[in-house]
Amino acid sequence: MPEPTIYSEHAKTYAAFCEHSAPNSRYDRPAILRLAGDVTAKRVLELGCAAGVLTEHLADRGADVFALDREPRLVDIARHRLGNRARVEVADLEQPLDLVPTAGVDVVTASLVLHYLEDWAPLLAELHRCLVPGGALVFSIHHPITGWALSDQSDYHRVELVSETWDWDGQLVTADLYRRPLSAIFGELRQAGFAVDVVDEPRPDLDVAPQMFEVLNTKPIFLFVRALRVD
């Protein structure tokens, strides 16, 4: 049985919060959708779907979405939200993706989920198997600069667990996530048979509260990458 996480213990709170919070709704999801491109009639594998908000956007754009999350409570919320518009299943990304056929998807999206994994190599190998040649992996992670600032700054080059406290509409939660150097991010993609197509640090024109507008436009919040399966 997986250990409880902030997402299992506060599933309903997070589901409500992520739908409207500016970093999620006005920054992360638009960037992921832009990098995913035209998904009409494409088979999209979504990793870490949470409450299914991004899943719904992908389905509304005509994608055939297969969404995965490790938290059963969030999967239940996503299924209720989506009905028959997408398939949503419980899956641990640290285990083989047996539910996904070889060369069975055109696009993989992973919005703010990969930083919860210490070792990317097994998952990247699975995604290489799942994607068609030329298929795209589109993901966002907490920015490496932010991760470095949260660490004890004794060794930039290691992959290490760091913690950050967030406010979900008055519910304070502490998240544990792995920060990694840029060489680890891009080196592991290359070793797994991916070519980096886009690296993005967007500065969107946002209609949000002035303080959040300044944060999202001036600080290293998230890093966005599109990588293509090349062999």
pTM for the whole thing?
A: 0.95
Q: Which ranges of the chain would DSSP assign to H, the alpha helix?
A: 6-9, 11-20, 22, 29-36, 53-60, 72-82, 121-130, 144-150, 182-191, 210-218
pLDDT reported for residue 207: 75
Residue 88, amino acid = V
Nearest to 49 by CA among 130, 132, 109: 109
Centroid of chain to Cα 28: 9
In whole angstroms, what is the distance from residue 211 CA to residue 107 CA? 34
Owner of token pair 């070793």: 191
Centroid of chain to Cα 106: 17
Dump pLDDT digits (tens) for 68-109: 999 999 999 999 999 999 999 999 999 999 999 999 999 999
Dump pLDDT digits (tens) for 165-218: 999 999 999 999 999 999 999 999 999 999 999 999 998 776 778 888 899 999
Would you identify the CATH topology of the domain 6-143+184-229? Rossmann fold (3.40.50)
In whole angstroms, what is the distance from residue 40 CA to residue 21 CA? 27
Ranges of each domain in the chain = 6-143+184-229
